[in-house]
Amino acid sequence: MKNPNPPGNSVSKISYDLKINDKKFINGVTDKYLCIDAAGSNVLELPVTFNYLDLFETMMDFIKTDSVAYDLTGSIAAGPFVLPYQTDGKFNIPNLPKVSLDQVEISKLFLAGASSLVFNLQIDNANQFDVNIKAFDYGIKLGGSQLAIQNINRN
């Protein structure tokens, strides 16, 4: 929490209620006393209790949609005042990039078999943001037999 004001302030109670797609997700109240220095900041840990079934159902909803609506309401007891707050909106659920095999090239061929194969992959990103791939694990089977397993890491 930040206090932009010249005098210090104290927080004695925070309540919160977060709904996802109009369904209760998490809520709680903390009675931890927190002193915030003038023009300073401090960290307040909020206890979060949730039902695993609610969490699972919410995650399943994420898979079925491109965006999620949220609504956060609550109040903060700061000094002698109880200040209500509310914010809502939507956020987009990122899509997994689609990976497909575009082309296989044999760069060196010997009578005993191919000694060097190059697999060109096509990666399609439908998101509105870049996807930076730093690691890529893959396996290649040919005729049901494992041909290659590779882990590529770019740091």
pLDDT score of 58: 79
Residues 6+ apart with CB under 8 A from 113: none
DSSP at 2: B
CA dist 61 and 59 (Å) reads: 5
Q: How far is CA 13 from CA 7, 17, 52, 74, in A?
A: 19, 14, 26, 10
Whether 8 shows a pLDDT value over 70: the answer reads no
Whether 43 shows a pLDDT value over 80: the answer reads no
DSSP H or E stretch at residue 108 = strand 98-110
DSSP at 93: P
Least confident of 17-26, 35-44, 98-107: 35-44
pTM flag (> 0.85)? no
Q: How far is CA 109 from CA 17, 65, 92, 102, in A?
A: 64, 47, 48, 20
Tell me what the mean pLDDT of segment 16-27 comes to.
Answer: 89
- Tell the CATH topology of 9-92: Immunoglobulin-like (2.60.40)
pLDDT, tens digit, 9 for 90 and up, residues 102-145: 888 877 777 776 567 788 888 899 888 888 888 878 888 878 88
Q: Please report which residue ranges of the chain form alpha helices under DSSP H.
A: 52-63
Domain boundaries, the chain: 9-92, 98-153
Residues 6+ apart with CB under 8 A from 79: 9, 10
- DSSP-based three-state secondary structure for 6: coil
pLDDT score of 85: 93
- Backbone torsions φ then ψ of 35, nearest 5 degrees: -100, 130
pLDDT, tens digit, 9 for 90 and up, residues 23-34: 888 888 888 777
For residue 46, what are the β-bridge partners?
none
Whether 79 shows a pLDDT value over 70: the answer reads yes
Tell me what the mean pLDDT of segment 56-74 comes to.
Answer: 85
Average pLDDT, the chain: 81
